[in-house]
Amino acid sequence: MKRILVLDDDPTLLPIMTATLRGPGVEVITCRELEAAEAVLDSLPVDLMVTDLCVSPLGGLDGVRLIKHLSTHFPEMRLVVVSGQTDPDVVGLCRRTAQAAFFPKPANLPALRGHVWESLWPDGPPAGGQEERAADLEELDAFLARGAVRALFQPILPLGTDDAASPPLGYESLARGPQGSLLQNPEILFAYAARKERLYETDALCLRAALEESSGLPPGSCLFLNVQPRSLSRPGFSDALARQVEAAGCSTRRVVLELTEQQTILNHAAFAAALGALRRRGFRIALDDYGTGTSNLQLLDQLRPDYLKISGHFCRGLNVYRSKQVIVAHTARMASGLGIPTILEQVETPEERDEARRLGVAFGQGYLFARPAPARDFRAAPARPVAASAPK
Side-chain-facing half-sphere of 205: CA atoms under 13 Å: 22
Is-contact 259 229, C-beta < 8 A? yes
Looking at residue 381, what is its pLDDT? 57
The more confident residue out of 354 and 58 is 354
Looking at residue 60, what is its pLDDT? 61
**pLDDT tops 70 at residue 56:** no
Q: Is the dihedral of CA 93, 99, 100, 104 positive or negative?
A: positive
CA–CA gap between residue 84 and residue 63 (Å, rounded): 12
Q: Map out the domains of the chain with their CATH numbers.
A: 2-136 (3.40.50.2300), 140-380 (3.20.20.450)
pLDDT band at residue 297, thresholds of 50, 70 and 90? confident
CA–CA gap between residue 270 and residue 323 (Å, rounded): 37
Looking at residue 388, what is its pLDDT? 35
Least confident of 203-217, 243-257, 372-386: 372-386
SS3 readout for 261-272: CCCCCCCHHHHH
Instruction: Find the mean pLDDT for residues 301-318.
Output: 92
Question: Considering the entire predicted model, what is its pTM?
Answer: 0.84
For residue range 133-142, list pLDDT tens digits in order.
Answer: 789 999 999 9
